Structure 1
Amino acid sequence: MRVIVIGGGAAGFFAAITCANLSPETEVILLEAGKHTLAKVRVSGGGRCNVTHHCFDPTLLVKAYPRGGKALRGAFTRFQPQDTIEWFEQRGVKLKTESDGRMFPVTDDSETIINCLVKEAIAQGVKIKTGAKVQWLSYEDDRFIVELKGGDYLSADRAILATGSQRLPYQWLSQFGHNIIPPIPSLFTFNITDERLQDLAGISVENVEVKLDIKGKEKYLQNGQLLITHWGLSGPAVLKLSAYGARVLHDHNYQLGLWVNWLPSENLETIKQQLMAQKEQTPRRQVVSFSPVSIPRRLWEKLALASGISATQRWAEVSKKQIITLANELIMGNYQIQGKGVFKEEFVTCGGVDLKEVNFKTMESKLVAGLYFAGEILDIDGITGGFNFQNAWTTGWLAGNGIIEQ
């Protein structure tokens, strides 16, 4: 039997290795269009490679996937982060856990992961072909025909698509009748030009609540660290919100209001009381230089000025109206998203192959026998933290197993 894996990323490698390991007599060919395989692994995590996340409960793990969590629930009972850790450690690669749950190789070098995958693929007899751009995939007489750029053809009994979110493979799948959920960006920063954020680049606030300004859409609310940048807002809270709100943000052309609560442990009344108490206790102090709340001083200054308080105004001179305005700035500041940025070198999309058309026990297409999927080609995407790689390892492992089991 010959199996062709199209796509030399994390999912493609894992599928090819798993398949070849389970069935040494099977010829496994991995095709990568670029000059180098595992390009995304190389740049992920700032070059350290965020391999997975330290969450070993599938019920909790699936909550990190805005799309695909339900389909992955059963998949994670078969191959989850604990299995990923063991897989790499059995091959001499130890992983470490950071305070936020992200897991990296102890070397802090993505080349460690790349070398492990390439070495294992070669050891299992996988034939790796780089510069092999697939122009078309067809299915004739129970065999898959792969047309390569340059005019060469390959045929196979089984095919695994692990091409990420590239457009061309979706055209191949459309001819087979597969429904493709239009791919759009997920995991991005917010471009916001606002006087309140000007000259604050680099300042972060540990726990902030951010919410898209859409009535009745409470699910578009996230908590976490917020980072002010030269172009707007970033950090875990924004990245999570961009993932869960990817579709609605796209539909609004990335032009939406954003509510920011700088003090989510408080409410409007408690903040008003704190500000009034400060007015009584330190009447002679300047407002901008003396904050009663735990946010960075320079941010406090900006919010105070935005509330109509002058740079020299003392607490005794602050009016009730100014206190109400400042309380609103702290608890429900309204900002305008004017576009999306990128998140470092990471590029994640939502959309892809409709999950209803895939058997998640084997990752085989329900429409075309012998056609399998792995990784981001599916309508699955996770938030930042190693979850997208775990999807790649899990679906790649299932696809490799699925072929041999059948």
Structure 2
Amino acid sequence: MIANYDVVVVGGGAAGFFTAINLAELYPHLKIAILERGKEVLSKVRISGGGRCNVTHACFIPNELAKFYPRGEKELKGPFHQFCSGDTIEWFEKHGVALKIEEDGRMFPVTDSSQTIIDCFLNTAKKLKIEVLTGQSVQELFKSDTYWKVTTNQGTFKCGKLILSTGSNPKIWDMLQEFGHTIVSPVPSLFTFNIKDNRIKDLMGVSTALASVKVKGTKLKATGPLLITHWGMSGPAILRVSAWGARELFDKKYQFVLQVNWLNDLDFDTVLEDLKEIKEENAKRLVNKFCPFDFPKRLWESILTASGITTTTKWADVSKKQLADLAQQLTQAEFQVNGKSTFKEEFVTAGGIDLKEINFKTMESKLFSNLYFSGEILNIDAITGGFNFQNAWTGGFVIAKNFEV
């Protein structure tokens, strides 16, 4: 038996629900179904932001917001002019969810609970009579001149318009590839660096407010807070490099040299001259007791050791070579990276449907009419901070706003 709908949304995640809800609100007469392969819907929403759900980011200028997307920056500028972060705040407030801005710009529900977002979506979908069907693993997609047919392990669904919001689902990508869509092969996009080095061996939990990092021999670099972990390095600076260098680092098999400037933009020569002055002015003081930089004490002591300076050394006794080594360790420290680790529980990939095959005014396929995409099924990804969800909200809104009924 075939179930007939006006619209079928495949994927019961954030992008799928947001798209379906906006469609149902704009066109109440549409019969809409959401098909989710798992037993539960919105599972990624539940764990995002440590269970608080990082809904969006407080960046309200479309062109500036687009800069947070290593893949999709150019394409998202138009959609963000249709629906940006400010529109997201207004949408959720209209649906009974107040958001708050944290110091780093991330935005969460004031309840600090992802369940608030889940309840909002489920209750709104129920009110709008959107059918939510779980345990629906897609087996086949079929396109005729006038309709789409979706066959799952539980039945067959026929619809005039099909929306795919399945995220990084290789099975769906394979089906689309058979239809003729180009799939950019997925690689990890948000990860931390595995480093075994005596300089950071016992510094787990130590962080710096502002460091600059660069992958040696490439153009990959970033600036921001850096966190030392028991497996290596993490923090915003590392995650930015991992995002923008996703494919390049994959090709390197995650084996490369990371250059770290613990003083951000200060160069070797400048720091060396500063150290010479510090030596003269603090001759009688112990080097390890007087750190002239805004550093955690443990990190300073580790850098001194790496420079051949003992804890009992006075500034007056530091040699020219030791000063040069210290300036080197502060501004040009090199660490061998051997592998990566997933960032928290958030596994983000670069890859998906080639963006050249999407009409970003409508989010419709350029190859097939009445086929739309939203969310991470596309070759779009962002750094951590609410940006991947914003892409989902924007795509869902653009589909609904420009829908031809």
Same fold by TM-score greater than 0.5: yes
Q: Which amino acid aligns with 1:376?
A: E
8 Å CA contact 1:24–1:125 kept in 2: the answer is no
Structure 2 equivalent of residue 142 of structure 1: 146
> Separation in 2 of the partners of 1:197 and 1:136?
51
Residue 312 of structure 1 and its aligned partner are, at CA, apart by 2.7
Residue 97 of structure 1 and its aligned partner are, at CA, apart by 0.5
8 Å CA contact 1:256–1:338 kept in 2: the answer is yes
User: How far does the alpha carbon of each residue in 1:53-96 deviate from its partner, in whole angstroms, 9 at most, with x for none?
Assistant: 11111111111111101111010111111111011101111000
> Separation in 2 of the partners of 1:318 and 1:121?
69
8 Å CA contact 2:212–2:265 kept in 1: the answer is no
8 Å CA contact 2:33–2:130 kept in 1: the answer is yes
8 Å CA contact 1:27–1:126 kept in 2: the answer is yes
SS in 2 for 1:175: helix
> Separation in 2 of the partners of 1:214 and 1:246?
15
> Separation in 2 of the partners of 1:123 and 1:256?
53
8 Å CA contact 1:142–1:157 kept in 2: the answer is yes
- The TM-score normalised by the length of structure 2 is 0.96
Residue 141 of structure 1 and its aligned partner are, at CA, apart by 4.0
1:123-272, aligned counterparts within 5 Å? 123-150=127-154, 152-215=155-218, 217=219, 220-272=220-272
Q: Which amino acid aligns with 2:212?
A: E
> Separation in 2 of the partners of 1:295 and 1:137?
57
Structure 2 equivalent of residue 358 of structure 1: 358
Residue 47 of structure 1 and its aligned partner are, at CA, apart by 0.5
> Separation in 2 of the partners of 1:138 and 1:305?
66
5+ residue gaps, structure 1, are: none
> Separation in 2 of the partners of 1:401 and 1:37?
24
> Separation in 2 of the partners of 1:60 and 1:281?
45
SS in 2 for 1:375: coil
Structure 1 window deviating more from structure 2 (342-351 vs 88-97): it is 342-351
> Separation in 2 of the partners of 1:371 and 1:127?
19
> Separation in 1 of the partners of 2:27 and 2:272?
68
> Separation in 1 of the partners of 2:313 and 2:123?
67
Q: Report the identity percentage.
A: 53
Residue 345 of structure 1 and its aligned partner are, at CA, apart by 1.7
8 Å CA contact 2:79–2:360 kept in 1: the answer is yes
Distance 1:265 1:141, change over 3 A: closer
8 Å CA contact 1:221–1:241 kept in 2: the answer is yes
- The TM-score normalised by the length of structure 1 is 0.96
Q: Are 1:109 and 2:140 an aligned pair?
A: no
SS in 2 for 1:376: coil
Please, what is the CA RMSD of the aligned residues?
A: 1.3
Q: Which amino acid aligns with 2:294?
A: S
Q: Which amino acid aligns with 2:272?
A: K
SS in 2 for 1:337: strand
Residue 358 of structure 1 and its aligned partner are, at CA, apart by 0.6
Structure 2 equivalent of residue 20 of structure 1: 24
SS in 2 for 1:230: coil
Structure 1 equivalent of residue 308 of structure 2: 308
User: How far does the alpha carbon of each residue in 1:322-369 deviate from its partner, in whole angstroms, 9 at most, with x for none?
Assistant: 110110110111111111111112111111101110111111101011
Q: How many residues align?
A: 401
> Separation in 1 of the partners of 2:127 and 2:86?
23
Q: Which amino acid aligns with 1:52?
A: T
> Separation in 1 of the partners of 2:277 and 2:271?
10
1:86 corresponds, among 58, 71, 90, to 90
Residue 300 of structure 1 and its aligned partner are, at CA, apart by 0.8
2:15 corresponds, among 11, 25, 35, to 11
> Separation in 1 of the partners of 2:153 and 2:398?
29
Residue 283 of structure 1 and its aligned partner are, at CA, apart by 2.7
Which 4+ stretches in 1 moved above 4 angstroms?
none
Structure 1 equivalent of residue 122 of structure 2: 118
